[in-house]
Amino acid sequence: MHARDKIRNIAIIAHVDHGKTTLVDKLLQQSGTYRDNETVQERAMDSNDLERERGITILAKNTAITYKDYFINIVDTPGHADFGGEVERIMKMVDGVLLVVDAFEGCMPQTKFVLRKALEQNLTPIVVLNKIDRPNARPSEVVDEVLDLFIELGANDEQLDFPVVYASALQGTSSLNPDQQESDMETLYETIVNHIPHPTEDPTLPLQFLVTLMDYNDYLGRIAIGRINRGIIQQGQSVAVMTREGAVKQARIEKLFGFQGLKRIEIEQAGAGDIVALSGIKDINIGETIADPAKPEALPVLKIDEPTLQMTFVVNNSPFAGKEGKWVTSRKLRERLFKELETDVSLRVDETDSPDAFIVSGRGELHLGILIENMRREGFELQVSKPEVIIKEIDGVRMEPIERLLIDVPEDSMGAVMESLGMRKAEMVNMINNGTGTVRLEFLIPARGLIGYSTYFLTLTRGYGVMNHAFDSYGPYAGANLGGRHQGVLISFETGVATAYGMLSIEDRGTLFMHPGIDVYEGMIIGEHTRDTDLVVNVCKEKQMTNVRAASKDDTVRMKTPRIFSLEQALEYLNDDEYCEVTPKSIRLRKKILNKSERERSEKTRKVAESNV
């Protein structure tokens, strides 16, 4: 057990890509946590493949470093508002936060989101101005922006008196002076131990431990991670588990772990204020309290923000179902979705009238996109519908989620972007032109208006625009026909292999989404039409071989480069009558009704029904 006045529990919070994970790397390296001969990869905290590929943190992770005789527990949190469920839980485990802000970009939507969560928990903040070595860094203006944000979010006097550390996580340097960097992270360590309070919980009271994070290990089963709220916890101890529903179960702690660097080390006991991991409790869940059996008292259940977006996950029933995936049945799909609920508290899964379809609700497109990507990598085949925002009735008024959108655009694209957002019912709340040729615009916009907007936005700004958004609040419903796709699609007429000849014959009808030689089926979407109506085309057509030589025989024909969608782009592109088919090897777009005449009949029925309303 550590002396409580030598423990510091902190979370690192920031907007995505402002350098949290790199900062943790340098704190770990310079604290002597690694052996001299130990090879450590960059962004050591980003442990899963998707995090490393995308350069984002998805799951909160904790580590511990020793500085002098202090023991500092650090939790790295996600920057995306989509993973807000992770951020909110972490705030229960710590006494202070390092708010990392880019010295050039300043405060972004997610900076506001994560800081609000920290201030609500009354945590002590330290502001770290990172990337101070950027040539266009503007530290004094950014500190003013951060102060304004604290005031706007209602910080108290102690929180407003935050220390500022200027750092370059990449170089591993920090200082209290923006113009001169020390050669190491010593300044930041000192600021942490001097400003973040030590835990004040009482180890002599009966045990209370809130399960905040979950892990799983094939040998140990479920591993519960959290902070000891009071009392002492020991290996082999009998405990009471208090579920979210209020039931009390008896259990025994088989193994207890502390943290040292990125490793878990087995320990005999730990006391109030320590962050530990424990195993042996079979069906433990996030938000449950582990308590003393003689005096079981539950801690308040974690309050998590509600999901704002939902999609229907359907068993793959396309003509190519089962060709590429390992798991294709509704039983396996259901098992996998309900397993995800154990570790992701922001997710909701609802069963429907059909055993093959499930409504999955999450915090945003990225949140659901990461789940789908993980599932396809595990060997699942499934189909998903267009993302839809969750509309609520509040005091008899229809309300929908409103996002705070922050965009940086070149001055010459500003007019087109403002016009496009105006059509999507966006309301401009701020505009900053700092004379660099780029303008920063801030909007409040219904979340529906952002579905499918990012690709269009990049086209409008010729790739130079940067767009960030985070959930702001629920506002009055802004009316129908908001956002979405305006173009029709090109649909395959038959099942077969797409030929270069067949694709060349329809190239002038729109933009294709694939190369020749790809297998297609009837009803599959193979491109975007130049008009706003759908068009059925035959891309499997082969050139007829005759003994008559064509005049253009020797001409080299060049096809236009097709537009290949990533998973997120495909989800954004969908319309109400379409599915995205996801398999371990392919992402295909298709119509829900594959047959052309059946589609037309269904559309007529829909129009008749609408006209009768």
Flag whether 15 is in a domain. Answer: yes
Flag whether 10 is in a domain. Answer: yes
The reported pLDDT for the residue numbered 38 is 42
Q: For residues 191 and 212, state if they share a domain.
A: no
Helix (H) or strand (E) holding 613: none
Q: Tell me: pLDDT of 326 over 50.
A: yes
Flag whether 328 is in a domain. Answer: no
DSSP letter assigned to residue 543: P
The reported pLDDT for the residue numbered 504 is 87
* Domain around 540: 489-547+557-564
Q: For residues 100 and 241, state if they share a domain.
A: no
Q: Tell me: pLDDT of 58 over 60.
A: no
As a whole number, mean pLDDT of residues 153-174 equals 86
Q: Is 519 annotated as a binding residue?
A: no
Q: For residues 445 and 503, state if they share a domain.
A: no
- Compute CA distances 376 → 332, 583, 586, whole Å: 13, 6, 9
Domain boundary among 429, 446, 476: 476
CATH number of the domain that 240 lies in? 2.40.30.10
Q: For residues 526 and 455, state if they share a domain.
A: no
- Compute CA distances 473 → 54, 164, 390, 401, 419, whole Å: 28, 30, 12, 6, 23
Flag whether 308 is in a domain. Answer: no
- Compute CA distances 175 → 19, 26, 299, whole Å: 17, 14, 40
Flag whether 128 is in a domain. Answer: yes
Q: Tell me: pLDDT of 550 over 70.
A: no
The reported pLDDT for the residue numbered 32 is 58
Q: Is 20 annotated as a binding residue?
A: yes
Which residue do the tokens 């500022």 mark?
Answer: 164
Q: Is 22 annotated as a binding residue?
A: yes
The reported pLDDT for the residue numbered 340 is 84
The reported pLDDT for the residue numbered 565 is 85
Residue 199: which of 275, 300, 263, 126 has the closest Cα? Answer: 275
Whether the CB-CB separation of 241 and 248 falls below 8 Å is answered with yes
* Pure H helices in 133-185: 139-152, 157-160
Q: Is 356 annotated as a binding residue?
A: no
Q: For residues 61 and 148, state if they share a domain.
A: yes
Q: Is 317 annotated as a binding residue?
A: no
Flag whether 535 is in a domain. Answer: yes
Two tokens, residue 300:
């308040």
Q: Is 17 annotated as a binding residue?
A: yes
Question: Greatest CA separation found in the chain?
Answer: 97
The reported pLDDT for the residue numbered 39 is 40
| Amino acid (one-letter) located at 592 | K
> What digits encode the pLDDT tens for the residues 258-296?
887 767 888 888 888 888 888 888 878 778 888 888 888
- Compute CA distances 135 → 58, 104, 131, 169, 466, whole Å: 30, 9, 9, 15, 19
Q: For residues 117 and 59, state if they share a domain.
A: yes
The reported pLDDT for the residue numbered 359 is 93
∠ CA 104-110-115, rounded to 5°: 95
Cα separation, 20 vs 100, in Å, equals 7
Domain boundary among 291, 313, 339: 291
Overall number of domains in the chain: 4
Q: For residues 31 and 141, state if they share a domain.
A: yes
Q: For residues 84 and 189, state if they share a domain.
A: yes
CATH number of the domain that 119 lies in? 3.40.50.300
The reply to whether the predicted model has a pTM over 0.85 is: no
Whether the CB-CB separation of 113 and 471 falls below 8 Å is answered with yes
Q: For residues 30 and 161, state if they share a domain.
A: yes
Flag whether 371 is in a domain. Answer: no
The reported pLDDT for the residue numbered 315 is 92
Whether the CB-CB separation of 116 and 87 falls below 8 Å is answered with no
- Compute CA distances 287 → 4, 245, 298, 308, 549, whole Å: 24, 11, 10, 21, 75
Q: Is 18 annotated as a binding residue?
A: yes
Q: For residues 12 and 147, state if they share a domain.
A: yes
Q: Tell me: pLDDT of 127 over 70.
A: yes
Flag whether 464 is in a domain. Answer: yes
Q: For residues 90 and 144, state if they share a domain.
A: yes
> What digits encode the pLDDT tens for the residues 394-449?
888 888 888 888 888 888 888 888 888 888 888 988 888 866 778 888 899 998 88
Q: For residues 91 and 152, state if they share a domain.
A: yes
Cα separation, 505 vs 482, in Å, equals 34
Q: Is 130 annotated as a binding residue?
A: yes
CATH number of the domain that 524 lies in? 2.40.50.250
Domain boundary among 442, 476, 510: 476
Q: Tell me: pLDDT of 41 over 70.
A: no
